[in-house]
Structure formats: C-alpha cells, structure tokens
Amino acid sequence: MRILVTGATGRVGSRLVPRLLQRSDIIRVLARKAEQVENVRQRGAEVLDRIQGFGLCILRLAFVYGEGDPHLAEAVRWAQTWHPEKRFHMVHHADVAQAVMLAIARPEADGKLYNVADEEPVTASEILRLNDMAVTEEARKVALDDPWEGIVDTTQIQKELGFRPIYPSVYMAKDAQAL
C-alpha cells in the first residue's frame, strides 16, 4: 500500500512514520525542505515534493501527546489562562498511529473525515495537575463560555473503522508510563 504522510518531521509525524515503515508499506513523505526528512529517507521513506495519485482520508486529531512529546508540558501556557473546568479531548501518539493504520486498511475510509480522540476529555485544571502546577486565582475568574469547545465526537471512526483507544485517557497513559 502507498501511504502519504504530511508533516513527517513534526511532533506527530516524526513518531508516526517509523511505525508505518515497520509495516513494509510504501511510505512517502511530503516535505517543504528535503534535508529535514533525510532521517526518514534513510529508513526507507520516499520524499516527494508534490502530491500525485493518492486517495484522501482526513483524520482530525485532538490534542496529541505522549512518548516524550513536549505538548503536555507546553499546554500549561494556555491551561493557566483558561477556566479550570474547560474541557478538551486528547489523543496519544499510539492511538494516532492506530487510527492511521485503520484508515489505511479500510478502503471505505477513502473520502471520509474522522475525529480521532481518547474517551475522556481533560480539564485545564487536570493539565496543570499533571504538570505539578496549581490553578491560579486569575484563571478561576475566566468565563466558561462554551462547555463543548474542544470536545469531539468519535462515533464515526469507532463504528466504521473499529477504533478503540489504546490509552482511553491521559491517566491510563500515565499509569502505563507512556507520557
């Protein structure tokens, strides 16, 4: 199977491409600067400078974390400015890879858009606690305007592709030492 990965040198792509290369598929990466993807080229990926002949399935990822990715620690910057009970979905890198593999394996995914997230949204205060920080008094004064902002529906990817998160929550990932 031919697979195109955009963002192969980013925080998500750099963790996804090695998993895809293990499958022995033909992995192509789209790069703005070819020198940035030399590592994946050496591991067997083909670097493209334009797209041709690919189907399309869009995976809309929630906030991605895990496997040494600094996103969780960096989230403190905005979690400190949000109402402590503001919720949002997250998704572990392993679950991103799982969703990609499922979409690749299922021809009916072509032309579809799927949300990819874990099962338990977290709050801004939980992000702070995970980083050993406390909620500020200023954050407690921030209005909680839209309690659904940051929440996604994963019913479609579950029903159509059989997606079930390996890490249903950030706490399960923490317990498994997969942060």
Domain ranges across the chain: 1-54, 58-179
Contact criterion met (CB below 8 Å) for 164 and 91: no
Domains 1-54 and 58-179 share a fold: yes
Helix then strand then coil, % of the chain, to nearest 5 = 35, 15, 45
What is the bridge-based pairing of β-strands 26-30 and 46-48? parallel
Q: For the structural domain made of 1-54, what CATH number should be given?
A: 3.40.50.720
Superfamily in which the 58-179 domain is placed by CATH: NAD(P)-binding Rossmann-like Domain (3.40.50.720)
pLDDT tens string, the chain, 179 residues long: the values are 788 888 888 888 888 888 898 887 788 887 666 667 787 888 888 887 655 556 678 899 999 999 889 999 999 999 999 999 999 999 999 999 999 999 989 989 988 999 999 999 999 999 999 999 999 999 999 999 898 999 999 999 999 999 999 999 999 999 999 99
State the pTM of this model.
0.77
